[in-house]
Amino acid sequence: MEIDTSRLAALPATAAWRHLGLRAGFEIAHFSTSNRDGMTRLWGNSLIVEDGVGYAVTYSVSVDENWKTREATIETHTRVATRTTQLLRDEGGGWTVDGRARPDLAGCIDIDLEASLVTNTLPIHRLVENPGTYAVKAAYVQLDCTAGVLDQTYDIPVIGASRFSCAYTAPRFDFTADLHYDETGLILDYPGLATREPVGA
């Protein structure tokens, strides 16, 4: 199946991933786009075990019509604690975390959640119309709900098939891999981290 090289196919109602390698677990995400303002909402749950600790993570992320993050709420449960954080990004690009200004996040357009595969679709949707190599700064939310800057590089290809690969680097973790996507821009295979699982609508 050939798809338009400037567009991705519509997101499914639901997607799922099996986490393996770095951690073990499962994730289910849901998607909806408003016809009124073009905002897209991504929300879901990850149940994972990492370094012997079990995490139950609930997240909700909203992006505008240009796939720039506007808000996100993340809640993490472990056996001993529950942590919640909310991030907001205003039209000028300023961020707040739990109501406090975070000037260190200036320049971040995307959010990246340690517990989720969903957020690796955000730069793809923003940049797919202009293939090339992009340095991307993301507001990175860790499993303990702390937030900081994660520098990344995405090599966006010309999209001419139903599946494609994108070279990705994250220097902070000394990580480089080809991320494999489907025609909707969602991860099919993230080497060493997760693979897509079939799920009905």
DSSP 76-140: EE-SS-EEEEEEEE-TTS-EEETTEE-GGGTT--EEEETT-SGGGGHHHHHHTTS-EEEEEEEEE
Cα 185 from Cα 197, distance rounded (Å): 15
pLDDT tens digits in sequence order for the chain, 201 residues long: 333 445 799 999 999 999 999 999 999 999 999 988 999 999 999 999 999 999 999 999 999 999 999 999 999 999 999 999 999 999 999 999 999 999 999 999 999 999 999 999 999 999 998 999 999 999 999 999 999 999 999 999 988 768 999 999 999 999 999 999 999 999 999 999 999 999 875
Cα 110 from Cα 123, distance rounded (Å): 7
Give this prediction's pTM. 0.93
Do residues 101 and 115 make contact, with C-beta atoms less than 8 angstroms apart? no
Cα 59 from Cα 31, distance rounded (Å): 12
